[in-house]
A = this chain, B = another copy of it.
């Protein structure tokens, strides 16, 4: 049996990146943890053209083992690690944006890292390479932007460690970034994710060929330890479902790979292959350095610390997680979103349904969602900072994309509505909201009501929605919308954060009614609730004369067994509820939507829809 490690010179012979530029920074770099680098070289690649106003630059930040080669430069070029997302006409459209992708400090593909020669000793740094942080990584990128003459990024975009990198940008250099797109990241690693990194590092550090890090001129290096770490990493990048799909059926039919690792099971042959290949392109000392930088990244354990961490930021935010990502699980993105909301930062968030695990952002499966969200987010960023510290957005049409058209709002949930063309209830709600008020719309659908508010000049407006496609439609409209389940209440929002909180035709679909209403009146100084009235005369007749559960117009033509409406109430019932729960019913407007008219006489009998304005 041949040992694939004995004969190769491993990562030291990784193919050079032919399109990478390289710049050596003028000054030594002082590091956050106290170390110092006498000299730093940055390798980076660029795509597209910097505009005359230098205002179309997008920084793409790579993950742990990535490099500057984010995309092909031409047809003959090697594939990039994010060709799916970056390129002409792609979500990060290089026909429009000037994309910059640097290799990270501490990496091993051109930027200064442990395998670089220390100019002060003439030897490779190895373990003399100081502990670095994500903050140091950002500092090197900032110096690179200075060198390129870019004072302000339109956006920084990154997944995994790249997402941490983007967050660090936004909070350290708020004046230099208009938008932060953070994909599959976390405020800090879970103890579980941290534990995997620890085991991986232990495998490298205790490999006898590690030679205290001085393996560069002495044998193959800790290739077994590195491979073990990489195998472990690969398990965490995939979801359980994805692994079962890949390896479940062919369990005992491994691929035929040349390796000294176990290959009895197909999943074993895959891991062996990945482990062996990794050693050909990655330096174990870089692995130690960069995993430690991730492990030290910590925006805070609790909401207060997190809020504080995000406070300096002035950019708009897009956060994306993937439902089956168990390395940086969705609840961690939710924590960041909650903190951003509490700090009144303009943020959109979607937890993309996916079976692909952490790697989903590198795969085509959910590209129609996450790619288009990125495209729409970038398209709605303004180059200057006129709108800082508001959650508003300028009016802009969704960017048409021939490959994957933005969703047509009329095909989306709102269109199920009973209100065709003209929405009397929206008109009424708009009348009830004084000009300039800040508004949170719960269950905002595709953002129709919010868009009308924006047209009327409201600046601090925001939506909460559950449906992925509806969220995409909102982001295409330039609105800020976060995904949340209303039955969980509104824990992210602070007391009195909005002038008005709207629950439009949604109350009747909610399971935990008291929680939702209580929370909406905590968050808003006023609440506006619209709901169908079960005691409308037509419904009374249906039950009393036909002996049938109420149905029809305002109940949206569903049957008793398939309606999304789970709660049935009359105006009187709602009045009672407000009294027993300590809500003030400040104003009530009754509508007969089938007659397209307001109802003044006996609203509990004559209205099919009620709109109530509440406060505590």
Contact = CB atoms under 8 A, between A and B. Distances in A.
Contact of A547 (B231, B243, B605): B605
A301 B191 contact: no
Interface string A264-304: 11011001100100000000000000000001001001000
B265 A295 contact: yes
A526 interface: no
B244 A562 contact: no
Nearest to A259: B202
A264 to B, nearest CB: 8
Contacts of A597: none
B301 A192 contact: no
A192 B235 contact: yes
Interface stretch (A7-15, A376-384, A465-473, A534-542): A534-542
A543 interface: yes
Contacts of A199: 228, 231-232, 235, 271
Interface string A563-584: 0001111111100010000000
B203 A246 contact: no
Contacts of A194: 247, 251, 265, 267-268
Interface in A184-229: 190-192, 194-196, 198-199, 201-203, 205-206, 208, 224, 227-228
Interface in A502-521: 511, 513-514
B544 A540 contact: yes
A549 interface: yes
Interface in A588-616: 604-605
Contact of A267 (B198, B247, B534): B198
A248 interface: yes
A605 to B, nearest CB: 6
B568 A235 contact: no
Given A206-B260, A228-B203, A549 B573 contact: yes
A569 B573 contact: no
A562 B514 contact: yes
Contacts of A604: 547
B549 A569 contact: yes
Nearest to A566: B566
Interface string A325-343: 0100100000000000000
Given A195-B271, A243-B195, A548 B573 contact: yes
A247 B568 contact: no
Contact of A201 (B246, B262, B547, B605): B262
A386 interface: no
B191 A243 contact: yes
**How extensive is the interface on chain A, given as a class?**
35 or more
A318 to B, nearest CB: 25
Contacts of A224: 206
Interface string A545-570: 01111000000000111100011111
B206 A208 contact: no
A514 B549 CA distance: 17
Contact of A561 (B247, B260, B567): B567
Contacts of A246: 191
B547 A570 contact: yes
A339 to B, nearest CB: 17
A81 interface: no
A571 B546 CA distance: 11
Nearest to A533: B547
A249 interface: yes
Contact of A198 (B206, B268, B549, B573): B268
Interface in A233-257: 235, 238, 240, 243-244, 246-249, 251
Given A267-B194, A569-B561, A301 B547 contact: no
The residue among A260, A268, A543, A561 with the most chain B CB atoms within 10 A of its own CB is A561
B240 A192 contact: yes
Contact of A228 (B202, B208, B260): B202
Contacts of A513: 561-562
A426 B232 CA distance: 56
Contacts of A201: 262
Nearest to A240: B192
A261 interface: yes
A546 B573 CA distance: 10
A612 B579 CA distance: 40
A560 B573 contact: yes
B202 A231 contact: yes
A568 B549 contact: yes
A267 B202 CA distance: 13
Given A199-B231, A206-B260, A240-B329, 9 more contacts: A190-B240, A190-B248, A192-B240, A206-B224, A535-B549, A540-B547, A548-B573, A549-B568, A568-B568
The 6 closest A-B pairs by CB, nearest first: A513-B561, A191-B243, A535-B547, A191-B247, A198-B268, A544-B544
22 contacts: A190-B240, A190-B243, A191-B243, A192-B238, A194-B247, A198-B262, A199-B228, A202-B275, A203-B228, A249-B301, A251-B301, A265-B295, A326-B326, A513-B561, A534-B543, A534-B549, A535-B548, A543-B543, A546-B572, A548-B573, A549-B570, A560-B573
